[in-house]
Amino acid sequence: MRRFRPVIALLLLAPLVGEYLLGNLSVRVLPALLFLVPMYGGGALLIREAARRTGRGFPTILLLGAAYGVIEAGLVDQSLFNPSFEGHDFQAVTPIPALGLSAASTLAFVAGHAIWSIAVPVALVEHLTTRRGPWLGRPGLVVTALVYLLGCRIIYTEIRDSEGFLASPGQRIGAAAAALALVGLAFLARGTFRPAWPAPRVGLAGVLAFVAATVFFARPESWAGFAFGVAWLAAGSVWLARTRWSDRHVMALAAGALLTYAWGGFALTALLEPGDPVRWWGNAGFAAGAVALVVAGAVRSPRAAPSPAPASAGSSSG
């Protein structure tokens, strides 16, 4: 069982961060976690294994996470294209009529999954378990892939039946092509940047990550906010790629991003169900869990060898 602890932790943490800590799902529907684990957790585990088995790091993980976001939002629940997904008008701002989607929502969905559903859980679990090599053998990879596909099928069927919506063939083909392009880029972009800048102190790195993630999360839903978000992500990616990070730095960066979702969950509850005390207490519980993870990571002894950089995959991997 000790061998599978990081596997189980990642399977659970991916949907807990991506949906519950964010406040997108209330603690009232916590049993739905069982149905989210196959897609969220299975996807995060497959991405992590693919990157580590090929000697790559967080740039590959982030790009594969972006592909995961396109697949989930474009092909599985199809929230990218559904103008009234779960009763929300996601295409009210920054619409692109020719594609049938919103630029701002697309950026939020894809970046949110890449950073918070995939990269942050992977970084946290790796730091807390100190296991950087492959976690699964070939049979485990096959089983995980099948579980992920089953999870996608479950969510696809549930959303299709409840929403009564199906994206056009062109939209689905476009989403599939975009996901494939991101997967290809994830494995082709190797060693593009060489870390040359010194990293700030670990605590400062965490604060900077929290501020940067907060600024991105709180940007306005407008064309100006979309343009700022793209530029902000690009600037942050260059900074991450060009800086020499230690393992404790990676943990600090992940912690800063994690705590952004902790306060974001309260903000989302204020918008969705401000009169539900159970949901507020659920937010408090998930936020407390996030703080506990950050504290556990902070007190853990540092590794002797540096880990791959979060956006440069280390000095030689990408």
Q: Where are the domains of the chain?
A: 5-299
Where is average pLDDT lowest: 77-91, 184-198, 243-257? 184-198
pTM, two decimals, is: 0.91
Q: Length of the chain, please?
A: 318
Confidence of residue 316 (pLDDT cuts 50, 70, 90): very low
Tell me how far apart the alpha carbons of residues 159 and 109 are, in angstroms, rounded to a whole number: 16
Confidence of residue 241 (pLDDT cuts 50, 70, 90): confident
The pLDDT tens digits of the residues spanning 178-212 come to: 999 999 999 987 655 577 789 999 999 999 999 99
- Residue 13 vs residue 133, higher pLDDT: 13
Number of C-beta neighbours around residue 224 at 10 A: 11
Tell how strand 95-96 and strand 101-102 pair up.
Answer: antiparallel
**Under DSSP, is residue 192 helix (H, G, I), strand (E, B) or coil?**
coil
Q: What is the DSSP letter of 4?
A: T
Number of C-beta neighbours around residue 34 at 10 A: 9
Are 207 and 259 contacting, i.e. CB atoms less than 8 angstroms apart? no
Structure token digits, residue 226 = 């979309």
Residue-level pLDDT at 314: 39
Report how far apart, in Å, the C-alpha atoms of 5 and of each of 9, 13, 20, 269 are.
6, 12, 21, 32
Four-CA torsion 201, 203, 209, 210, nearest 10 degrees: -160
The pLDDT tens digits of the residues spanning 85-128 come to: 988 888 889 999 999 999 999 999 999 999 999 999 999 999 99
